[in-house]
Amino acid sequence: MIEALSQRISGYVFRHNDRGHVSQEVMKFALVSLLSTTFTIVLSLIIGLIDGKFLPTVLSLAAIAIMRNLTGGYHFKSTAACIIVSAGVITLIPFIPVSQIAFYIMGIISLLLVIGYAPSNLRGVSRLTESNLKAMKWVAVLLIVSNFLLTSDIISLAFFIQAVSLLPGKWGEKDA
């Protein structure tokens, strides 16, 4: 659905764009990204409103989005799967109780995964330099460490889930 809509919009813009400095494929890629992000955010916020956990859902969404932008991670092949899984995870996080020991274990594991695997799937798909990617990784590390002071269960879970998406293997690929 999103791919088809992006194809139609990019085709229209491409045909009516006198400058022609961007290919239709690049436009389509950007639109798919923009629309899937928008749908994920809107769906998450609507579910958060309905289930009475709006502010915790906003916190979960912000924590995952920030960490994801800093560290990268696994990408689903299907845009629909990405939207459904992302919105599902974001809206479930506020309902998961976290013990004190689990909080610290998730924080330490998140720290180790980010140090060991970030950035994941960001090389070659952005114009960021290697030094930018390294700086982003260390900002992510600082955010994880700062949550040891904030002690937010929601942020801890969000960071942990995002850090797990960095793992290589069947479901994720390590950058070369």
- Whether the model clears a pTM of 0.85, i.e. scores above it, the answer is yes
Give the ranges where the chain is alpha helix by DSSP (H): 2-15, 24-50, 54-71, 79-92, 100-117, 130-150, 153-164
Distances, alpha carbon 142 to alpha carbons 61, 75, 121, 136, in Å: 19, 24, 21, 10
List pLDDT tens digits, range 34-52: 999 999 999 999 999 999 9
Contact at 8 Å (CB) between 51 and 91? yes
3-class SS string, 6-29? HHHHHHHHHHCCCCCCCCHHHHHH
List pLDDT tens digits, range 48-104: 999 999 999 999 999 999 999 999 888 888 889 999 999 999 999 999 999 999 999
Sketch the domain layout of the chain as residue ranges.
51-164
